């Protein structure tokens, strides 16, 4: 009996050691990735943005095909490449300057060793009330209408955005205000682009679907 209990104890200990070893290895890998991201900010941005565009648009196209009932249709590879290029562009001219440049200076999340919740709230509000409507959405509509669909010129794309702005902003705010606040409060500056890109994998699909629904509704109006 004692021998059997001893064997069970040994087996349990071996299992525990294996779990701890796996956790240690994963922590080591995470630390290496963290160090790499800190040392290679531009490569990290490009990798995160590429993942964001590819996964987001693949999900959006799958949803659109399922909704149209044309599940056998092939994916639009041109659109996939264009949206992946767009997310890289946005990461370089919008995400990096704002989330890793301006916001850490304007709204530091820790002041005198304490979490600065006022700065966290201000960053989330500036991002969603100023940056998104004045910078991100105009870029998105110009890219979508002029480059991807080739359906409008620059002026037409901006007028298209102005018409759909009241419907798009609540979707944007409900998704991004909590995520921006979380990023500002808890995510290290050098990891904010990967964090935002991971969240934006879902956002690309949401935005694409919302925009397609708005366009469909507009085309059905008498």
Q: What is the pLDDT of residues 30-68, one digit of tens each?
A: 777 778 888 888 898 999 999 888 888 888 788 777 777
Quote the CA–CA distance of 25 and 200 in Å, as a whole number: 28
Report which of residues 58 and 220 the model is more confident about.
Answer: 58
76 neighbors 197 (Cβ within 8 angstroms): no
In this prediction the pTM is 0.75
The CB-side HSE value for 77 (13 A sphere, CA atoms) comes to: 1
Asked if residue 9 has pLDDT above 60, the reply is: no
Per-residue CA distances from 175 to 10, 16, 82, 84, 202 (Å): 49, 40, 24, 21, 10
pLDDT of residue 36: 81
The CB-side HSE value for 70 (13 A sphere, CA atoms) comes to: 7
Q: What is the mean pLDDT of the chain?
A: 81
């Amino acid at each position: 009996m004692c021998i059997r209990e001893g064997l069970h104890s040994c087996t349990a200990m071996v299992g525990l050691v294996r779990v701890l070893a796996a956790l240690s290895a994963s922590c080591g890998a995470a630390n290496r990735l963290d160090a790499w991201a800190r040392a290679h900010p531009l490569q990290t941005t490009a990798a995160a943005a590429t993942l964001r565009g590819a996964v987001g648009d693949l999900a959006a196209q799958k949803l659109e095909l399922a909704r149209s009932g044309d599940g056998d249709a092939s994916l639009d590879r041109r659109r996939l490449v264009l949206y992946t290029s767009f997310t890289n562009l946005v990461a370089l001219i919008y995400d990096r300057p704002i989330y890793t440049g301006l916001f850490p200076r304007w709204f530091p999340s820790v002041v005198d060793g304490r979490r600065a919740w006022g700065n966290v709230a201000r960053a989330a509000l500036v991002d969603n009330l100023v940056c998104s409507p004045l910078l991100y959405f105009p870029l998105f509509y110009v890219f979508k209408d002029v480059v991807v669909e080739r359906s409008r010129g620059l002026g037409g794309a901006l007028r298209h955005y102005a018409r759909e702005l009241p419907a798009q902003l609540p979707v944007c705010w409900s998704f991004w205000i909590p995520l921006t606040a979380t990023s500002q409060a808890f995510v290290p500056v050098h990891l904010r682009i990967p964090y935002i890109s991971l969240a934006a994998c879902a956002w690309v699909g949401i935005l694409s679907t919302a925009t397609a629904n708005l366009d469909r509704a507009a085309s059905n109006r008498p």
